[in-house]
């Protein structure tokens, strides 16, 4: 211990005698520590931290593929989504979402809000419990049903409505239609903060020509990724046979939750920077 203290005193005397070197050394240390802290924060957020949902290892992204066109991860068409949701045997449920915008009026000046349209079971797949109220019920995304319901994002509820605890049951006028507020979502990435409001995705006449739906699914208990891939490929072949004009070359791909935020190339680059 005495020797260590002597070494420290000697080091401090040398640093006082060489202020230029001392400044460079301190700046180097500060930059090194800052850079390492920043890179670790990114690596943790992207690669290490699990998604903030129940049993995230059972949640997957699902894509259409058209290998003849070079599409390995395409969005779903509306009709194909509803068919895959109905025909698959590997998932507890499959849900879809689509982001856009809606005009809010009746609360002071008009506002353009980020809006998410989701299938009724989307938040159940994520195992999301609302802060207030409820999420969408089965059937509330079906044509002909009462589906003028809206869920509020946590950020918009706090920032725009001052976290009003009595908001459930009130109405918002969105795109000149009255929607009943049924709940407030918790804060959460990657989906819950991506829009200000969420409404049911209703498709009176779903088509197979526009690839615009992002799709997620929750694996059924005991079902592996490989088994789910095999099941969805069988569904894709059936849809190709049933609708050859629209679904020629159709396939379906799955990405586990660990691959959502970062592709393999991004993960490799981050690990190199971290090293």
The predicted structure's pLDDT at residue 259:
65
Encoded tokens for 266: 């991004």
User: What is the C-alpha separation between 150 and 160, in angstroms, rounded?
Assistant: 15
**Can you spell out the DSSP letters for 59-114?**
EEEEEEEEGGGTEEEEPBPHHHHHHHHHH-SSEEEEEEEEEEEEEEESSSS-EEEE
Q: What's the burial of 170, exposed, middle or buried (CB within 10 Å: 0-12/13-18/19+)? A: exposed
User: What is the C-alpha separation between 145 and 13, in angstroms, rounded?
Assistant: 81
Please say whether the beta carbons of 175 and 114 come within 8 A. no
Helix axes 19-43, 264-274, angle to 10 degrees: 150
User: What is the C-alpha separation between 260 and 60, in angstroms, rounded?
Assistant: 8
Q: What's the burial of 223, exposed, middle or buried (CB within 10 Å: 0-12/13-18/19+)? A: middle
Per-residue pLDDT of the chain (275 residues; tens, 9 = 90+): 667 666 667 656 766 776 766 666 666 766 656 556 656 554 444 444 556 677 888 999 999 999 989 999 999 999 999 999 999 999 999 999 999 999 999 998 999 999 999 999 999 999 999 999 999 999 999 988 888 999 999 999 999 999 999 999 999 999 999 999 999 999 877 788 889 999 999 999 999 989 999 999 999 999 999 999 999 999 999 999 999 999 999 999 999 876 655 555 555 655 666 66
- 178: nearest Cα among 203, 200, 149, 206: 149
Radius of gyration of the chain (CA): 25
The predicted structure's pLDDT at residue 190:
74
The predicted structure's pLDDT at residue 144:
82
Strand runs labelled E in the chain? 59-66, 71-74, 91-105, 111-118, 132-133, 149-152, 171-174, 177-184, 197-200, 214-219, 250-256
A 10 A CB-CB count for 205 gives 7
């Amino acid at each position: 211990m005495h020797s260590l203290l002597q070494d420290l005193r000697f080091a401090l005397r040398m640093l006082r005698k060489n202020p230029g070197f001392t400044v460079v050394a301190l700046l180097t240390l500060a930059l090194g520590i800052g850079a390492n802290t920043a890179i670790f924060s990114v690596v943790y957020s992207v690669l290490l931290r699990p998604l903030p949902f129940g049993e995230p290892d059972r949640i997957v992204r699902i894509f259409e593929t058209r290998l003849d066109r070079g599409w390995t991860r395409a969005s779903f068409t509306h009709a194909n989504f509803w068919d895959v949701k109905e025909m698959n045997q590997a998932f507890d449920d499959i849900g879809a979402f689509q982001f856009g915008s809606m005009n809010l009026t009746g609360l002071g000046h008009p506002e353009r809000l980020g809006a998410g349209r989701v299938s009724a079971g989307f938040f159940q797949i994520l195992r999301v419990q609302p802060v207030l109220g409820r999420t969408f019920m089965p059937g509330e995304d079906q044509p002909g049903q009462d589906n003028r319901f809206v869920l509020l994002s946590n950020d918009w509820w706090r920032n725009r409505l001052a976290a009003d605890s009595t908001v459930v049951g009130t109405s918002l006028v969105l795109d000149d239609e009255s929607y009943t507020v049924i709940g407030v979502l918790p804060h959460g990435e990657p989906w819950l903060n991506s829009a200000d409001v969420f409404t049911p995705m209703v498709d009176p006449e779903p088509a197979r020509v526009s690839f615009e739906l992002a799709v997620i699914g929750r694996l059924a208990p005991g079902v592996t990724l490989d088994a789910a891939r095999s099941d969805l490929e069988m569904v894709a072949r059936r849809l190709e046979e049933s609708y050859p004009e629209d679904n020629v070359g159709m396939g379906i791909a799955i990405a586990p939750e660990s691959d959502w935020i970062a592709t393999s190339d991004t993960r490799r680059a981050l690990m190199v920077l971290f090293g």
